[in-house]
Amino acid sequence: MIELTAGELIASISVLFLSVFLGFELISKVPPTLHTPLMSGANAISGIAIVGALFAANERLGQGDRTTAALLGFSALVLATINVVGGFLVTDRMLGMFKQKSD
């Protein structure tokens, strides 16, 4: 298991909270016309998360608790896959709104 000192733990928690705050501020300021390009960028990031989740689910993370790593990796894989598929469905629906209707 990974052991962190108190300073490393505080630094990690600080980075987590700052990234959540920054992400919220950035997303809330995006105009509606940019939501589709932003979603495609989020899909790319989720694709990277899928690769990391595959490594974690493969249980080759060192000498720690491999069952926990496998369960967390599998749940990350499922959630990132749902995010990617949902993002593509929403993007396809939004792009369909701009197609001309045939008579």
pLDDT tens digits for 51-95? 877 777 776 555 566 777 777 778 888 888 888 888 788 778 877
Average pLDDT, the chain: 77
Is the pTM of the predicted complex or chain greater than 0.75? no
CA-to-CA dists, residue 101 to 18, 33, 89, 96, 97, angstroms: 45, 21, 20, 10, 9
What integer is the mean pLDDT of 18-30?
Answer: 83
Spatial neighbors of 36 by CB under 8 A, at least 6 apart, are 91, 94, 95
Spatial neighbors of 58 by CB under 8 A, at least 6 apart, are 70, 73
